[in-house]
Structure 1
Amino acid sequence: MGGNMKSVSVSDKKRKPLWTKAFLITSLSNLLLFFSFQMLIPTIPTHVSQLGGSDVQVGLVIGIFTISSLITRPFAGRALDLLGRKHVLLVGLAICTLTIAGYSYMAAVALILAARFVHGIGWGLSTTSLGTVIADIIPPERRGEGMGYYGLSNTFAMALAPLTGLWILQTYGFPRVLLISTCLALLSLFSSLFITYSKPLPPEKSAQPPKFTDRLWERTALLPSFLLLCTAICYGGIVTFITLFGHEAGISNVGWFFLCNASMVLIVRPITGVLFDRKGPQWVLLPGALFTITGLLLLSYAHSEVSLAVSALCYGVGFGSIQPALQAWTIARAAPSRRGAANGTFFSANDLGIGLGAMALGALASFSGSYAVMYRCSTVLIVVFILIYGWCYWHARRSRAQGAQR
């Protein structure tokens, strides 16, 4: 662990280029895929409700998708390392495109729910593949910076796509939403055909075959994935209950939180990425955790759009710092031949965290009778984040010091 905690120090003259053709095309493909996906997040539940779906069925629209993608990711990681990145990526994008197009022909809620399960499989395959491909492409000495810039495509889609989808739904109807979403997914598939890069070295053959669980999960990714889980649970509480919290606090337009949060993430990610490469993960993760706690506490006390925006700015600094740093750290800890499994483990933690946040924090809000109390209590998870990472960092430094004395 000690070597993984150390920063990468390379002079600017020796640094390999980041903005290569492969990097740009992969980032574009990711942007198109996420924009297509984010357009459907607020619109499909509305469509299911208009078809006569119950509140439970509306919730299942998100739940079934999350479950299927969560189940798929470990197998996607194994397939990426075994079959190759591009084959798995194209299959995943094809499933996403065909499923989105198929929503147009499904007038029954049961059929939509079944399609959401299939869509989740495609999503798990494609996003895990794109994350692994970009990890292969980015030069190791610029991994934090590269992951920061790559993550901006997700942030840009998160900021604009839901609003765009709702506007199209209200102006032109749900069929037009599906048409545009399908075209974006198809463009993502088409652009991915042009991704070319050097394949990672094959894994070294060992005398003893790995266990089944080791084939699906990457052990070196467990620590950063657990830290991501802590932050994802908090984020799940925000995206699920922020509207209801707004009603409780008397804030009419909670959309300001997402806009300010995304804006700050866009600003912070390139900066913290460079800091990660030059100083190491501790210079990004610990300050990011403190900003996240501050953002959650300010959010719990917000009673106006201005105070809501301030909380979003603080939370955006934390969110924009932690997620790409943890992903870069995950890739740095894994062998090149195990990056697929590492990304599968990492993204599974994110999916699981958001789902747990929606359920566990929802139960906490019901028990306490206040969403504000729920957000204050969720800061405990970030305290756990700080304690665990702090202990691991201290232990790694102590091990290095003892090794130097021998």
Structure 2
Amino acid sequence: MTTTTSTTTATADGAGARPRLMSRAFALVLVAGVGSSTSFYLLFSSLPRYADATGAGGVGAGLTTGVMMLATVAAELAVPRLVARCGYRTVFGTGLALLGVPALALLGVPALALATSGSMAMILMACLVRGAGFAVAVVLGGALVASIVPAERRGEGLGIYGIACGVPAMVALPAGLWLGDLVGYAPVFALAGVSALAGLAAVRDLPGRRPEPEAPLGLVAAARKRELLVPSLFFAATTVATGITATFLPLVGGAVSAWALLAHGLAVTCTRWWAGRNGDRYGAARQLVPGLVISASGIALLVLVSSPAAVLAGMVLFGAGFGLTGNASMAVMLDRVPSSSYGTVSALWNVAYDVGIGLGATGFGLAAVHTGYPAAFGLTAALMLLPLLAGRSARTRPERARTA
């Protein structure tokens, strides 16, 4: 595997030599990340509609998402132990197969000895398996980036990886619905399967099992460490709002909602690279509080949900804060553990993401029944700031030296 730590290049501003960021190994991780993200989001939007079309109705459509996310969270808890036992290459390859094969199985591929079936049982089984595969992909993607790129440019590497996975997600979510309406669901299933399995070509050159000087932290032990828990809480506060906006903004925001969600996605994507590069230079921990405050400010603007301008501005602000907090929290947590625990940190970060989305959507729905949507958005913005009460430890621990 090509290493990245020995080659240096001059910075654009002439400030001095910096380690080279791109390498063959990093490029392979990006390829696998693009494939897994494309595969997951193509069916994330289209499979619920397909379930409804087969007669499962709204309940069945909801079950497809619920089962998949439940499997994702459950598998994320197990991934660090699997990596310690089997290595990155084997586990990542298995995860991509778990994403791709069930999508093809929905076609009834003869080579898999499966008959074509539109039954709800088969759909839910595909969701269950794909959720586990996606968990592997997201946990190991972040851990591999942390292991491969130079420590001095880790935040920038995480930002680039976030863009590589985020852009396909933005495209695949609407594309799954559009293709399903235009040409039917079979091509969507085929594309989702091929996208994931194509990433297997990159996996063979990734690190295998290797001895570590220190035993990796368990997920529970990591969550008990304040220096890791606090950054994850900062991130979880923003993901709570993500679940709320994705679920409820289309219900109350009117015609501007689609544009607002797109603006949010673009703001997240554009912020990630800047956040990583800036964090590498000046310290990622310094970005946690501004990122959270910006996110909460964006949600606070949704109190004016009847105003299209306020909705658009709020979602841009929220997206910028989300990108800043997400990248910074991962970088801070990685700085505080040995390399053997990178997988555990990535798992904890992703659990915060998934649980935050689920809790946010559920809690907001219950609150809005009593307060109305504008007040519920205001309450959400206030609650998002609660991690500031515990935030001192996220900013006081010394960090590694940064490049100027």
Equivalent position of 1:401 in the other structure: none
**What is the deviation of 1:173?**
1.0
Contact 1:293 1:379 in 2 (8 A): yes
Larger RCO (CA under 8 A, 6+ residues apart): 1
Q: Among 112, 117, 126, which residue is 2:128 paired with?
A: 117
Equivalent position of 1:5 in the other structure: none
Aligned equivalents of 2:200, 2:256: Cα separation in 1: 36
Aligned residue runs from structure 1 range 5-404, under 5 A: 13-104=16-107, 105-195=116-206, 202-204=212-214, 213-214=220-221, 219=225, 221-246=228-253, 251-368=254-371, 370-389=372-391, 391-393=392-394, 396=397
Aligned equivalents of 1:329, 1:168: Cα separation in 2: 40
**What is the deviation of 1:123?**
1.3
Aligned equivalents of 1:190, 1:304: Cα separation in 2: 48
User: What secondary structure is seen at the aligned counterpart in 2 of 1:289?
Assistant: helix
CA RMSD of aligned residues (A): 2.5
Aligned equivalents of 1:108, 1:29: Cα separation in 2: 31
TM-score (norm 2): 0.86
TM-score (norm 1): 0.86
Distance 1:272 1:20, change over 3 A: same
Counterpart AA for 1:361: F
Counterpart AA for 1:66: M
Measured against aligned partners, the alpha-carbon deviations of 1:269-311 in whole angstroms (never above 9, x if no partner) come to 2212122112112432222112111211122313344432222
Aligned equivalents of 1:77, 1:346: Cα separation in 2: 12
**What is the deviation of 1:383?**
0.9
Contact 1:218 1:338 in 2 (8 A): no
Counterpart AA for 1:345: L
Distance 1:337 1:375, change over 3 A: same
**What is the deviation of 1:211?**
7.8
Aligned equivalents of 1:140, 1:188: Cα separation in 2: 25
Gaps of 5+ in 2: 1-10, 108-115, 399-404
**What is the deviation of 1:394?**
6.5
**What is the deviation of 1:35?**
1.5
Measured against aligned partners, the alpha-carbon deviations of 1:60-90 in whole angstroms (never above 9, x if no partner) come to 1111111111111121012113321111100
**What is the deviation of 1:194?**
3.5
Contact 1:218 1:345 in 2 (8 A): no
Aligned equivalents of 1:212, 1:156: Cα separation in 2: 29
Measured against aligned partners, the alpha-carbon deviations of 1:346-399 in whole angstroms (never above 9, x if no partner) come to 21111111111121112112232x22222221112321123322x3256658xx
Aligned equivalents of 2:335, 2:176: Cα separation in 1: 36
User: What secondary structure is seen at the aligned counterpart in 1 of 2:55?
Assistant: coil
**What is the deviation of 1:106?**
3.2
Moved more, 108-117 or 85-94: 108-117
**What is the deviation of 1:237?**
0.8
Aligned equivalents of 1:342, 1:171: Cα separation in 2: 41
Aligned equivalents of 1:305, 1:212: Cα separation in 2: 42
Gaps of 5+ in 1: 1-9, 398-406
Distance 1:172 1:353, change over 3 A: same
Counterpart AA for 2:78: F
Q: Give the percent of matched residue pairs that are identical in Structure 1 and Structure 2.
A: 26
Equivalent position of 1:3 in the other structure: none
Aligned equivalents of 1:258, 1:372: Cα separation in 2: 18
Distance 1:24 1:305, change over 3 A: farther
Distance 1:77 1:106, change over 3 A: farther
Aligned equivalents of 2:104, 2:88: Cα separation in 1: 25
**What is the deviation of 1:49?**
0.8
Aligned equivalents of 1:110, 1:374: Cα separation in 2: 37
Aligned residues: 377
Runs of at least 4 residues of structure 1 off by over 6 A? Answer: 209-212
**What is the deviation of 1:185?**
1.0
Equivalent position of 2:401 in the other structure: none
Equivalent position of 1:6 in the other structure: none
**What is the deviation of 1:241?**
1.4
